[in-house]
Amino acid sequence: MRTLQIMLLLGTISVGVAQAQSITYSTFLVPEAAPNTLNVQGISRSGEVDGYLTDTSGNLEGWIRDKNGDITLLVDPLDTGTPSATVAYGLSPSGIAIGYFFDTSANLYYGYFYSGGNYQTYSVPDQPSGTDTTVGGISSPGMFCGSLLQPPYTTYLNYVSIKGQVTVFQVEGSNDEDCLGINSAGTSVGSYVDDAGVDHGWIRDVSGKVTTVNVPAASMTAGTAPCISGIVGGTTINGINDQGFISGHYWDRKYNEHGFIRTPSGKFITLNVPGAYQTGGGSINANGEMVGHWATDTSCDDQGFIATIQQ
């Protein structure tokens, strides 16, 4: 792992962007990932990081990187097919990993919680038979969120689970959306895709009020981006901490990708790993540490990063 420290004067980027910050980037490799398959999603309070990758045999696997840099690959025991399909979407502050996997015998996707080598399967209760479930964000065992896909598998819905009370909801009438973060106050965050193929972030408070979030510099039309298959554009939110900072990434008007943090006052901080070709942002923990992945050059082969912002 290597560490880079730079001082960024961010106040000149656009209206609504935060002022000068000191940002320290620590970068790391996940050797098990095949080229251009690494996704970095979550970070715990103690600095564990997780995400998912595709290995050289085509298996989709979750992974956890501990503070010493050691990697543990995650394949749910019920995911017995070849290739495997287990994704890690995030970590609670205490280090519980969450995500989804393909249950081979049930022929369905289920969410899971992973801790200490043990997997717990989760599906949203009282849903139609055959409903797929993911767990996308977690604050504690009693506070988590994700998405579900009911037959005939055309419309994704979000859900939040707060102390056993589950609420299913849809944002902006989208049919493609996901909840990827929630804090201890019950505020959840995620993204949806509009009819034009553009991503938009959203914040939902515990009362159910939803606010749409778009980074000011983000493209509001879809286009072709480096390192991404298909068309993309807009803003994606991946995490929120208890202080109200949210994090994610966006594509600018030339479709280059950047990480970002939005402060509780609504100011935006853009993150680019020094020397990166593209930078994608993940979630943020209570210490103000944000994770993500970055492409070193036009080959789009990814590494991970941890960014720490001194306010």
The whole-angstrom separation of Cα 193 and Cα 186 is: 23
Residue 11: inside a domain: no
Task: Tally Cβ neighbours within 10 Å of residue 235.
Answer: 26
Q: For residue 248, what are its two tokens?
A: 């994610």
Span 109-129, pLDDT tens digits: 999 999 999 999 999 999 999
Residue 125: inside a domain: yes
Q: For residue 121, what are its two tokens?
A: 């399967």
Cis link prior to 83 (omega < 30° from 0)?
yes
Given this model, what pLDDT does residue 173 score? Answer: 76
Q: Which residue has the higher pLDDT, 34 or 7?
A: 34
The pTM (predicted TM-score) of the whole model is: 0.92
- Tell me which residue of 133, 101, 94, 100 sits closest to 115, measured CA to CA: 94
Residue 27: inside a domain: yes
pLDDT, mean of residues 72-80: 98
Q: Which amino acid is at 193?
A: V
pLDDT, mean of residues 268-278: 97
Residue 35: inside a domain: yes
**Residue 304 and residue 26 in contact, taking contact as beta carbons nearer than 8 Å:** no
Residue 5: inside a domain: no
Q: For residue 126, what are its two tokens?
A: 């009282």
Q: How many helices (H) and strands (E) does the chain have?
A: 0, 27
| CATH code for the domain of 83 | 2.120.10.30
Q: How confident is the model at residue 261 (pLDDT cuts 50, 70, 90)?
A: very high
The whole-angstrom separation of Cα 260 and Cα 199 is: 15
The whole-angstrom separation of Cα 14 and Cα 216 is: 7
Residue 180: inside a domain: yes
Q: How confident is the model at residue 243 (pLDDT cuts 50, 70, 90)?
A: very high
The whole-angstrom separation of Cα 138 and Cα 43 is: 11
The whole-angstrom separation of Cα 286 and Cα 295 is: 26
Span 87-97, pLDDT tens digits: 999 999 999 99
Q: For residue 19, what are its two tokens?
A: 């002022």
Count Cα neighbours of 10 within 13 Å in the Cβ-side half-sphere: 23
Residue 219: inside a domain: yes
Span 194-241, pLDDT tens digits: 999 999 999 999 999 999 999 999 999 999 999 999 999 999 999 999
Residues spanned by the domain of 296: 22-310
DSSP state of 133: E
- Tell me which residue of 105, 107, 89 sits closest to 97, measured CA to CA: 89
Residue 3: inside a domain: no
CA end-to-end span of the chain: 24
Structural domain count of the chain: 1
The whole-angstrom separation of Cα 214 and Cα 145 is: 21
The whole-angstrom separation of Cα 77 and Cα 99 is: 14
The whole-angstrom separation of Cα 183 and Cα 186 is: 5
Q: Are strands 71-74 and 60-65 parallel, antiparallel or unpaired?
A: antiparallel
